Amino acid sequence: ALKVFGSHYYSKGIYNAWKPGYFYLTNKRLILYRQDFDEITFQIPLEEIKALVTREEAHFVKGKKKQVLYLIDKQERVHRLSAVETNQLKDAIVQNLETIGLSLEESPVLLEFEEIPIDFLIEGEEVTHRGKKVWYLAPASGIQQETWRPGHLYLTNKRLCWWYDFERKLVFEVPVDRIVSVNTEMRKTSGLDSKKEKMLDVVYSLNSAKTIASFSGGGQIDEWQEALNRIVSGKISEETETCPQCGKPAPAKELLEEGCSSCGWVSPGLKQKTENREQRTEKITA
């Protein structure tokens, strides 16, 4: 019934991204298919759609807005979709539902997607990883000793940022090109009675000196270490994707040209190249 280019918001652990592809709307399902990865990133039977809501959201290009379609399913899960013509996609879904005798819920309750406003982004900046309830060891200031404070940790394509919940402002930020190394260590957060926890230490250069920023909590310290180590290795500038088979993030070029190092998944293009190479070898040796 409809084919239109768009994207689906994907989130797993601390990793999140808009995954592009083509939406296919049939008389039974809505599908987002990605040909390069031979992957159906998103699909839902039409009868499982409960409500649709469109909203304008900030675009990564400062000053621009984009239409986002919030699709609520009958399990109350919210899926974020965007298309070249988002309203056209919404209207087509509504029309298909009416054709098969189904209707949508009117005035659905839709909670805000973000718990805090992401208003600290600069021109061309996009959030790629985020963590809730991540504690930051705030440096000593005046008579105030260094203190662990709760907040949100964000990694963008330009900066590592930590948002302080209590004061509702950005307290820590460092450009990604200043990050030197990333380490984890089990140690106590406070006095003698406290238990050891896994800490994330981010070493970065500041005014020709090396400084350490320490983080704890969130239950995803290992994921943060892996994501930040990609910065240190120089791969932050590469487009990141997730393996269609195991879901592990990796550079898109690496996945398409080399396959997944974690589970062995091979892209359709690489598989075809390998088969062609083997056929040529067989002809030569025959």
User: Residue 211's pLDDT is what?
Assistant: 93
* Residue 230 shares a structural domain with residue 254: no
* Residue 160 shares a structural domain with residue 221: yes
Q: Residue 107 domain-assigned?
A: no
Q: Residue 62 domain-assigned?
A: yes
* Residue 200 shares a structural domain with residue 275: no
User: Residue 234's pLDDT is what?
Assistant: 72
Q: Residue 118 domain-assigned?
A: no
Q: What is the CATH number of the domain that holds 26?
A: 2.30.29.30
Q: Which residues pair with 201 in a beta bridge?
A: 183, 214
Q: Residue 110 domain-assigned?
A: no
Q: Residue 168 domain-assigned?
A: yes
Mean pLDDT of 6-16: 85
Q: Residue 108 domain-assigned?
A: no
Q: What is the mean pLDDT of the chain?
A: 84
Residue 116 has pLDDT above 60, yes or no: no
Q: What are 266-275's pLDDT values in tens digits?
A: 888 777 777 7
Residue 216 has pLDDT above 60, yes or no: yes
Kindly indicate the confidence band of residue 22, based on its pLDDT and cuts at 50, 70 and 90.
Answer: very high
Kindly indicate the confidence band of residue 264, based on its pLDDT and cuts at 50, 70 and 90.
Answer: confident
Q: What are 149-159's pLDDT values in tens digits?
A: 999 999 988 99
Element (H, E) at 135: strand 127-138
* Residue 213 shares a structural domain with residue 250: no
User: Residue 167's pLDDT is what?
Assistant: 83
Cβ contact 95:110 at 8 Å: no
User: Residue 238's pLDDT is what?
Assistant: 57
Q: Residue 214 domain-assigned?
A: yes
The tokens for 141 are: 């200031």
User: Residue 286's pLDDT is what?
Assistant: 52
* Residue 44 shares a structural domain with residue 80: yes
Q: How many domains does the chain have?
A: 3
Q: Residue 68 domain-assigned?
A: yes
Residues of the domain holding 279: 244-285
